[in-house]
A and B are shown apart, each in its own frame.
Chain A
């Protein structure tokens, strides 16, 4: 089976940097994805890490440490529109490409 842990809520101010952590337990591991969801709308793919290290996409970066079963999403130069839920998702090496989603972190950005 798989389990993912991420904080339920994170708050930050506009312009700041915030890190959303995700720890996971899987019988195998194939990759960690991050999705953004605004107000219960369509989840939007942000990033994917299969190898250790940092992947950067504009203001968003995602990090993975497979030895620690840990990853994080880093959001820089926060904007009000970044207020959303952020889900990490793990793909298990057990033969399925289907990602299992965490419970999500609600990010609240204050002015």
Chain B
């Protein structure tokens, strides 16, 4: 079964450093998302991406964050100058044109900012 792949599975970084989280969505999917989940809390929407541009973003997704689809397969989330409160699990998700009712999530990257 096709899956969304995320790397790394765990990233530890020092406060103030930049991190790039990587995702490979399912190949024929068109819509891409980043979500985060702080430990024990709900899954929160960050940003959606379609047709090579951001289609929607939440209040969490401020100037510290950026997304990119540098080639035909990767979808990245960059966090500049990380803060302690950025520590969370970051999930990438995708769906195709007809899958708007169900997202396929990756296994996540656990980001720990120290």
Give residues in A with beta carbon < 8 Å to B.
Answer: 31, 33, 35, 37, 40-45, 48, 50, 87, 96-104
B18 beta carbon closer than 8 Å to chain A: no
Are B42 and A87 neighbours in the complex by a CB distance under 8 Å?
yes
Shortest distance from the beta carbon of B61 to any chain A beta carbon, whole Å: 12
Contacts of B89 in A (CB 8 A): 40
Within 8 A of A (CB), among B87-114: 89, 91, 100-108
- Residue among B37, B56, B100 making CB contact with A40, cutoff 8 Å: B37
**In the complex, what distance in Å separates the CA atom of A6 from the CA atom of B103?**
21
Complexed CA–CA distance, A51 and B14 (Å)? 48
B-side contacts of A45, CB under 8 Å: 101-104
Does the CB pair B42–A40 fall under 8 Å? Answer: no
| C-alpha gap A101/B41 in the complex (Å) | 10
Is A31 a contact partner of B101 (Cβ separation < 8 A)? yes
Contact indicator A41/B107 (Cβ below 8 Å): yes
Q: List 28 A-B contacts (CB under 8 A).
A: A31-B101, A33-B101, A33-B102, A35-B43, A40-B37, A40-B39, A40-B108, A41-B107, A41-B108, A42-B4, A42-B91, A42-B107, A43-B91, A43-B103, A45-B101, A45-B103, A87-B42, A97-B100, A98-B45, A98-B48, A99-B45, A100-B45, A101-B44, A102-B42, A103-B41, A103-B42, A104-B42, A104-B43
How many angstroms between the C-alpha atoms of A50 and B100 in the bound complex? 12
Known pairs A31-B101, A40-B37, A45-B104. 11 more at Cβ < 8 A? Answer: A41-B108, A43-B105, A45-B101, A45-B102, A45-B103, A48-B102, A87-B43, A101-B43, A101-B45, A103-B41, A104-B43
How far does the Cβ of A22 sit from chain B's closest Cβ, in whole Å? 12
Contact yes or no, B56 A96, CB < 8 A: yes
**CB of A43 to closest CB in B, whole Å:** 5
Which chain B residues (20-65) contact chain A, with CB distance < 8 Å?
Answer: 33, 37, 39, 41-45, 48, 56
A-chain residues with CB within 8 Å of residue B56 when the two chains form the complex: 96, 98
